[in-house]
Amino acid sequence: MWYWLFKYVLLGPLLWLMGRPKLEGGENIPTGGPAILASNHRAVLDSFYLPLLAKRRITFLAKSEYFTGTGLKGGFQRWFFSAVGQVPIDRTGADAAQDALNAGVRVLSQGKLLGIYPEGTRSPDGRLYKGKTGLARLALETGVPVIPVAMIGTDKMNPIGSKMWKPAKITVRVGEPIDFSRFEGMGGNRFVERTVTDEVMYSLMQLAGQEYVDVYAASLKDTSPKGATIPAEPAITSDADRMPDTQAG
């Protein structure tokens, strides 16, 4: 209930007013059955505008930190993400990759749409970064189609570090579903997983018109437009880092 209230009553009207969003290729999102929506990740607002424009409900696997905060802000985050039916995952444990994979498989086995960000974190500078292969693991294990989705303009409305939204034109561009059935039975092969992931990232690059950078965004340090340094996230050191982030981060 809360998902639809936020979409149509509590938050959706404000998002429509500020972003004047446009959906292109919406017919590529299936009207029924499971699928993975693989999106570029420019801003926290990506997780608002994609569900706003899609007719079907989208489930994201939210990082567990959104459910464990304290104080007024932490309590609101916990209530909000629980109310809209998002699924928490712990990305810090030794079994984080497998736990995230299991959670994604569970969502898809229920015939739902799963939203995922292959880059693993927001782009620090508007470019498109190397995708993590957890996306491929999900696609190969479940056999569901992967639908590339390009978010355009969300970083203008909601730049990294900004506390307030500002009006900007938002476009959500949905590409044709990608069928990876030709790799059936080849899950676990890292070469195949990288091939699948790179094919999705190429589609995203074409849809979004972004420059592609063949490194993980989380391994970088960058400087924001205001001159503030964005702290580097830990480099990839374990299998857990193969799983992409599936919620705004």
Q: What is the pLDDT of residues 117-164, one digit of tens each?
A: 999 889 999 999 999 999 999 999 999 999 999 999 999 998 888 888
Asked, for residue 215, whether it belongs to a domain, the answer is yes
The distance from CA 66 to its chain's CA centroid, rounded to whole angstroms, is: 15
Asked, for residue 36, whether it belongs to a domain, the answer is yes
Domain that includes residue 158, residue range:
2-57+91-242
The more confident residue out of 121 and 33 is: 33
121 contacts 41 by C-beta, under 8 angstroms: yes
Asked, for residue 45, whether it belongs to a domain, the answer is yes
237 contacts 124 by C-beta, under 8 angstroms: no
Asked, for residue 74, whether it belongs to a domain, the answer is no
List own/partner pairs for 207-210 with CB under 8 A and 24 or more apart.
207/148, 207/149, 207/150, 207/173, 207/175, 208/40, 208/128, 208/150, 208/151, 208/152, 208/173, 209/150, 209/152, 210/40, 210/123, 210/126, 210/127, 210/128
* Global confidence as pTM: 0.84
Query: Could you tell me which residues come within 8 angstroms of residue 90 by beta carbon, excluding any fewer than 6 positions away?
Result: 64, 96, 99
Asked, for residue 63, whether it belongs to a domain, the answer is no
Domain count, the chain: 1
Range with the lowest mean pLDDT among 6-10, 35-39, 49-53, 164-168?
Answer: 6-10
Asked, for residue 198, whether it belongs to a domain, the answer is yes
Asked, for residue 143, whether it belongs to a domain, the answer is yes
Backbone angles phi, psi at 209, to 5 degrees: 70, 25
Asked, for residue 184, whether it belongs to a domain, the answer is yes
Under the banding of pLDDT at 50, 70 and 90, the label for residue 231 is very low
Average pLDDT, rounded, for the chain: 84
